[in-house]
Structure 1
Amino acid sequence: MSGSEANGGDAIVAYCVPGGPNFQRVYVKVHGYVALIICLLGSVANSVNIAVLSRKEMTSTTNSILTALAVADLLVMIDYIPLALHVYTTIAEELNRNSYAWAVFVYFHSIFSQTFHTISIWLTITLAVWRFVAIKFPQKNKTFCNKRNTNIAIAVAYVVCPIVCLPIYFAMKIQELPNNNTVRDNVTINETDTVNVSAVGEPTYAISMTNNQYLLTSIFWIYSVFLKLIPCVVLSILSVCLILKMKSSDRRRQKLLKKSAVATNEGEKARLNEDGGKRGGRTDRTTRMLVALLGLFLATELPQALFGLLTAIAPHLFGICYYAFGEVMDLMALVGSAVNFVLYCSMSRQFRSTFTRLAGKLLPPLVHHDSERMTTTTTVKA
């Protein structure tokens, strides 16, 4: 590297130093607890999503994709819970973080979380394409977006995404670190200092990245461009198209309602009102819910895509800038995976009614038990 290139690299890194590392040192103290809350609530929410969306009365191609999406999001959050507990909190600090077993889990987590998060991303794109076809080409919807093609699209996402993530599998390795007995003998070990310290003589293991710069560069480009940036661009285009189509449908419905207002035949007037109101309202609610889902996705994924692209362009930023904000990007991804339940409940009447009926089947035994206990208590007092 020439002197000018080195100075340029130092100037770029200067944007992250010391602000980035200082921010990371402060934020990492609360990250684990915030991530745990999000993961626990999100796991419950996605479990409810799966239970509701898989009901017979909720059967549809859109809900099949949403169910597969909830499964992927649920697995991502369940996988993150042990990492948050062990690394970012004091709840499991007595466990050895330098053991071979923990190194294996970190290796597994890095692959598993990225793979299923990628599956979630491409299922979101599939959902947007299906919805676009439904409102843009309604006559072809039943042919193109039928149950068989939907199942194939879901299967392709679950099979192809792990293959796309293959370079990540080979970029990391579990490495045994040499023990320095002299240094360890000088370490004061007490109740609060045993987190990252192994006993003298015990082997220490850690995850290390490959020294192959070509492989690392290809991984940065795959992550930032193919797994993040391209999906964000595609979803942005589809979101704009859906919004424009939704506005066009609103204008057409208004014309239809005006036509019904001047219709002399009362039967025709009632039919036009029913067709233009109920069907259009139901379609618009589904489309608005999807647009909100896509907007949430862009808000959480686009910053990661841009940061990953910056790292791909300047790989030397990875060690300083990327690690400084890595926990924040993890949290953004977890938030995106956890709040879908709120969107479904707030924007889908069918989801709310199905959820209410499903909850009603579980709550009556509890309510009946509580009412019996209250009756018994009242009788004793009397």
Structure 2
Amino acid sequence: MDQNTTLQPLGNWSTTTDNSSEEYLYYYYYDTVVLPYKVDIFKPWQNIVLGYVYFILSLLTIIINCLVFAVFIWKRIRTPTSVVLLALAVSNTIICATIIPSAYHLYIQGNYSRYLPYHWCVVRHVLYIAHQMTRTSSNWLVALLGIQRSIIVIFPFQAKRYCSMRNTCISIGAITLAAFIIFIFEAIIIDITPLEVLSEDGVSKLPESCLRDFAHWFKESSDDLGSSVITNYIVTGIFSRLLPCLILSVSTCVLTVKLLCKGKTITDGAQNSSFTDKKIHRATIMLFIILFLFLGSELQDCAAYFIYVHEIAVYSKRGRVLSEEEDKAWDTIGVVIWLLVYNINAWIFFFMSSQFREAFYKMYTPHLPLLKESNNTGTTYLKSANSSPRSGNRSRVKTSRDVSPDSRQFLTS
């Protein structure tokens, strides 16, 4: 496209395709792309959701997670499960932080109706890559949580060795590094250059927009640019969406079966069941709820991914099964679903862990009398392996002869 072409910044743009860059392959796989770039919405409700709903849910998640961080750090909680939960809260916070700038600037302030200035093109690209990296990390951290809990309930005596603190930290580091490597490629193959925009009379210069194009080295190294981009899309989708969802589905099914069997055992022999068994069962229920909620939010994303791959494989472009309007509506609602799930996690900690509640009360309401809660209903999945059981529970814990003290602390983590 000739940069000296006369364009009107606030009107309805005629559709223009840059055949040299074929950048529609990178963004939407549709036939055309509009220059200068605008963020289109198809329905009035999308402006409300993309702006106010996204902004409020993201900000609320960040605030709640900051409270969770403070409780974890203040209590110096150091167990494999708590470390994964803390890493998950960090990744969810970063995800929400990448949503807030666009939600506020583009939709709340109404700038979606104007073309994007150059600096906002750069900001949106950086936020997009950071979002994809942390979203992938979040998906794999939930999968790691499911794997850990499945090992604990299936192999209780080997769990301490396989799910040690060292292995957990290595797994979290590997997940973060893999997510970075996968999406850093997508970050560097795109060049963002300024695009001169003229007023309607073709004389006055307006703030620069941008032209997003494939990097020159990527074009030269790719015999078939379209196939390279589609292959990258499929590979990143398998790693970031499909595999975590598959692992999460298997671990959730395993925990469902174990919970049903264990719940029946505890119910049939309620008086003979050890206190530790009940704590393990309760911690497993709590983590099962977290896994189930995440699985529900990710299944719709996996369904969309399969539709996209089908469109690309059969029709070589997007928009044949889902129109662009339907695609954006699906994506908008899907983001709302997992933002709600991010908010629910902290409330699960609060309502199902007496230790978390006690730490929260002590930290944020020190002037109020602490509500003493029965340890019979408490969940000590957060308890450090070095902490000793309360004196009131010591005699009951000792009755669990079949589990060593070290294993007992780990199983309830």
TM range (shorter): 0.7 to 0.9
Letter in 2 for 1:317: R
Verify the 8 A CA contact 1:23 1:324 in the aligned structure 2: no
Q: How do 1:330-369 and structure 2 match up within 5 A?
A: 330-361=335-366
Q: How do 1:213-362 and structure 2 match up within 5 A?
A: 213-254=226-267, 256-257=269-270, 273=272, 276-315=273-312, 316-317=317-318, 320=324, 321-361=326-366
Query: For residue 205 of structure 1, what is the aligned residue in structure 2?
Result: 210
**Structure 2: gaps spanning 5 or more residues:** 1-29, 31-39, 220-224, 369-413
1:105-138 CA distance string (max 9 Å, x none): 1010110011011111111111111111111101
Q: In 1, Cα distance between the equivalents of 2:193 and 2:59?
A: 32
Verify the 8 A CA contact 2:98 2:128 in the aligned structure 1: no
**Partner SS, residue 329 of structure 1:** helix
Shift of 1:333: 3.1
Choose between structure 1 and 2: higher helix proportion.
1
Q: How do 1:31-110 and structure 2 match up within 5 A?
A: 31=49, 32-56=51-75, 58-90=77-109, 93=111, 98-110=116-128
1:201-252 CA distance string (max 9 Å, x none): 4422254678931233123313433211221121111101011112222233
Letter in 1 for 2:58: C
Q: In 2, Cα distance between the equivalents of 1:278 and 1:82?
A: 48
| 1:304–1:175 distance in 2 versus 1, CA, 3 Å | farther
Q: In 2, Cα distance between the equivalents of 1:80 and 1:155?
A: 24
Shift of 1:289: 1.3
Query: For residue 133 of structure 2, what is the aligned residue in structure 1?
Result: 115
Verify the 8 A CA contact 1:171 1:216 in the aligned structure 2: no
Instruction: Figure out how many residues of one structure are paired with residues of the other and give that number.
Output: 314
Query: For residue 29 of structure 1, what is the aligned residue in structure 2?
Result: 47
Q: In 1, Cα distance between the equivalents of 2:264 and 2:112?
A: 64
RMSD of aligned Cα (Å): 2.9
Shift of 1:179: 2.6
Letter in 1 for 2:304: F
**Partner SS, residue 191 of structure 2:** strand
Letter in 2 for 1:72: S
Pick the aligned partner of 1:150 from 147, 164, 168.
Answer: 168
| 1:215–1:343 distance in 2 versus 1, CA, 3 Å | farther
**Partner SS, residue 250 of structure 1:** helix
Q: In 2, Cα distance between the equivalents of 1:44 and 1:277?
A: 38
Q: Sequence identity of aligned pairs in percent?
A: 23
Q: In 2, Cα distance between the equivalents of 1:209 and 1:293?
A: 40
| 1:317–1:179 distance in 2 versus 1, CA, 3 Å | same
> Is the aligned partner of 1:132 residue 2:141?
no
Letter in 2 for 1:352: R
Q: In 2, Cα distance between the equivalents of 1:94 and 1:249?
A: 53
The TM-score normalised by the length of structure 1 is 0.74
Shift of 1:256: 4.4
Letter in 2 for 1:307: A
Shift of 1:341: 0.8
Verify the 8 A CA contact 1:107 1:207 in the aligned structure 2: no
| 1:128–1:94 distance in 2 versus 1, CA, 3 Å | closer
Letter in 2 for 1:301: E
Letter in 2 for 1:349: S
Query: For residue 164 of structure 1, what is the aligned residue in structure 2?
Result: 182
| 1:94–1:73 distance in 2 versus 1, CA, 3 Å | closer
| 1:208–1:109 distance in 2 versus 1, CA, 3 Å | farther
User: Which of 64-73 and 173-182 deviates more?
Assistant: 173-182
Letter in 1 for 2:244: P
| 1:323–1:171 distance in 2 versus 1, CA, 3 Å | farther
Q: In 1, Cα distance between the equivalents of 2:349 and 2:183?
A: 30
Shift of 1:88: 1.4
Shift of 1:322: 3.0
User: Which of 300-309 and 106-115 deviates more?
Assistant: 300-309
